Chain A
């Protein structure tokens, strides 16, 4: 288990390999479907986006990853502008996977449905845009030891493909 800090620097990104388990600490932004469609009004250069919509609570209730592929149509331009990390669940489109490699970023997968456990790692939460969207508002979080796994690394590694390939028994 590696401990890493946000925002991600190039050296950290280079040292991460698909399948690595990590504990993430630092600042990340939360945005999901509606905010991606409207446009995320935050400078995401060097930042990490967590695809999620929390339950009410202080500093937050339960929070866990939502299906990342729904954000795929909006993701390549964000990587182009310097987004360095994404946290969600499930595989992404071929375009996003290629862009993660091209722009030297990292896609982390967190455990979907482990939201009470993940919520405990959130130390501070602040709404930074679209409060009217309720659970789809854009938030800024401070987390400590948020558990995740490197799903796509900056060299093209893919923990889903590698993992499923190892255990698949039928065609």
Chain B
């Protein structure tokens, strides 16, 4: 059985968290460049120019892109042939987060009501899936609080139409989008159940920005939603403009005959996602 040391997982998580926070991905930068080319509002254009310049400063000076360095969401795809040695997966991931966040903002409190800072940004939220093979794929998504707060979930009737779902998502953006740091990336989970559709909405954010779903119908719905969201006029930072979202990503899953769950996970333009396979 192939062995992977817990220390290697720690090292990888630490490096991914740092890279995510200091270097905006080329997919987001390309999306911002495109946004600048189509934005008509002068305030919107100035905001996008600030974001592009901010990313360059952050990378050059090793400064976090955004001060909200997030609650770290970690996606682990564990090859079922792998044996982890020298510690547990959970400890290894959290040790990696703790090390990375020595120089980053600690944004996690110990309890929803006691609210004492844990001082090392742990615990991370870990989503584990078992896959075939002898490797481990780790993705990190440090997620800011403002955009996360703008997210929502609705249990639709199973007879609801696609149009009703589209209207719901656009309404979510209209109501909560302006404060979630637009231009947004909108992650949508459709199907599954109450908890799984929220997971799918988050998982949708890990796809390369602007890469549409491989299924044609879902890709069409993504395009339609992006168009509708960009017709709201919210624009960069909610100051008005053509670009309210950079991308819409949808993931779907089979669901119960009685249900049609829909979750919308808002992501700001400071979309920090990095992954590696060990």
Contacts and interface: CB of A to CB of B under 8 A. Distances in A.
Interface of A: 19, 21, 34, 52-57, 61-64, 66-69, 89-91, 109, 111-117, 119-120, 133-136, 147, 149, 151, 159-160, 162-170
Contact of A54 (B67, B103, B146, B268): B67
Given A34-B115, A111-B47, A164 B231 contact: no
Kindly name the residue among B179, B234, B270 whose own CB sees the greatest number of chain A CB atoms within 10 A: B179
Interface residues of B, number: 51
B interface majority secondary structure: loop
21 contacts: A53-B105, A55-B63, A62-B58, A62-B64, A62-B65, A64-B68, A66-B68, A66-B146, A90-B238, A91-B179, A111-B51, A112-B268, A114-B53, A116-B55, A116-B65, A119-B67, A134-B106, A159-B43, A165-B233, A168-B231, A168-B232
Given A62-B65, A91-B179, A133-B117, A167 B233 contact: yes
B55 to A, nearest CB: 8
B66 A90 contact: no
B65 A115 contact: yes
B57 A116 contact: yes
Contacts of B58: 62, 116
A141 to B, nearest CB: 13
Contacts of A117: 50, 53-54, 57
B269 interface: yes
Nearest to B55: A116
B225 to A, nearest CB: 12
B41 A113 contact: no
A62 B233 CA distance: 29
A interface majority secondary structure: mixed
A166 B238 CA distance: 12
Contacts, number: 165
B241 interface: yes
Contact of A113 (B61, B66, B233): B66
Given A116-B55, A117-B50, A164-B239, 12 more contacts: A55-B69, A55-B103, A56-B103, A62-B64, A64-B67, A91-B179, A113-B65, A116-B54, A116-B58, A134-B119, A160-B238, A165-B233
B79 interface: no
B9 interface: no
Contacts of A109: 237-239
B106 A135 contact: yes
Kindly name the residue among A19, A34, A64, A91 whose own CB sees the greatest number of chain B CB atoms within 10 A: A64
Interface string B171-212: 000000011010000000000000000000000000000000
Given A91-B179, A112-B146, A135-B106, A164 B234 contact: yes
